[in-house]
Amino acid sequence: MSRIDEAFHQRETPLLIACTVAGDPTPDASLEVILSMIRSGADMIELIIPNTNPVADGPVISRAHERAIRGGIGIPGIFSLIRALRRESNIPIFLMTYANPVIVHGEAVFLSDAAAAGADGIIIVDMPPEEGGVLISQEEIDPIFIIAPSTPPDRREMIGGIGRGFLYLVSAPGVTGTRQHLPDDLPDRVLEVKQSTMLPVAVGFGIGSAETAYEAAAAGADAVIAGSVISGAIERNPDDPALFVGDAVREIRSGIVRHRSSRSAGQ
């Protein structure tokens, strides 16, 4: 059983997946940021590989990409960062990237190096499952796929059958960023995805407060993913980003805890 599988198997509440751009704001500070996320209640870490054209990301995370690139982290540095985290924690870690760095590095070599460093899974945003033969066939690291609001039922079922770890359900059309509320139809879409797969379903895009975390948990999500709120905390507090990132993670965690309390009260 992988670390990702074990985390979902053992959960009592929806998991909190805390997301940050690797190397933001600097490689050394990034390690402290991630350790702060873990200490503050994150159950899993999504580590984004910096990219010069992050088309799926909104302005907050896009600026995080820019800071990380200016800080000089590259693929070897990211693998070193994961190894450093592994010396401190056994928390599940998965990478989010675009296809270009993987292809340049060599798909099989990249996946093997990532697994050797301690990564448990990977999302390649712009690599459709039909083009992910190497990713799907290897056994060292879980291939995680995204379900968009526009993904048709037959494609949801296909993706749900070949992915591992979990499925990443985008809460609403558009790019990453925080929202005041999640869409009203989110519970229906979570249910539709769960009916087409045995994998856990994690909801991301738009979760930046206790309220939206509560809404995602109430919609039936097995995990809640928060990223822009963390990148925003780093941006606003460059001198001590780890401290304020911890506050952001605890805020999201409080919404998940509130959902659990409300369910217990209703039973």
Examine the pLDDT at 143 and tell me if it is beyond 80.
Answer: yes
CA dist., res. 4 & res. 153, Å (int): 25
pLDDT band for 204, please (50, 70, 90 cuts). very high
User: Which residue in the block uniquely carries the two structure tokens 């979570």?
Assistant: 190
Report how far apart, in Å, the C-alpha atoms of 169 and of each of 2, 126, 222, 231 are. Answer: 21, 15, 11, 20
Give the chain's length: 267
Q: Which residues face 44 on adjacent strands?
A: 17
Catalytic residue among 5, 24, 43, 46: 46
Percent of the chain beyond pLDDT 70?
A: 96
Examine the pLDDT at 262 and tell me if it is beyond 80.
Answer: no
Instruction: Please state the rounded mean pLDDT for residues 147-159.
Output: 93
Instruction: Please state the rounded mean pLDDT for residues 167-181.
Output: 75
Examine the pLDDT at 177 and tell me if it is beyond 60.
Answer: no
Q: Active-site residue 46, yes or no?
A: yes
Instruction: Please state the rounded mean pLDDT for residues 146-173.
Output: 92
CA dist., res. 143 & res. 164, Å (int): 6
Catalytic residue among 5, 24, 43, 57: 57
Residue 206's pLDDT is what? Answer: 85
Residue 176's pLDDT is what? Answer: 61
Query: Alpha helices, DSSP H only, in the chain?
Result: 3-10, 27-39, 59-71, 75-86, 99-105, 107-117, 133-137, 153-162, 186-194, 210-218, 228-236, 241-266
HEC profile for 212-258?
HHHHHHHCCCCEEEECHHHHHHHHHCCCCHHHHHHHHHHHHHHHHHH
- Please indicate whether residue 180 or residue 95 has the higher confidence score (pLDDT): 95
Tell me, rounded to whole angstroms, the distance of Cα 111 from its chain centroid. 17
Please, what are the domains in the chain? Answer: 3-266 (3.20.20.70)
Examine the pLDDT at 197 and tell me if it is beyond 60.
Answer: yes
- Please indicate whether residue 191 or residue 177 has the higher confidence score (pLDDT): 191
Whole-prediction pTM: 0.94
Q: Active-site residue 126, yes or no?
A: no
User: Which residue in the block uniquely carries the two structure tokens 């690291």?
Assistant: 141
- pLDDT, one tens digit per residue, over 20-75 is 999 999 999 999 999 999 999 999 999 999 999 888 888 999 999 999 999 999 99
Residue 225 tokens read as 């993913």
- pLDDT, one tens digit per residue, over 223-249 is 999 999 999 999 999 889 999 999 999
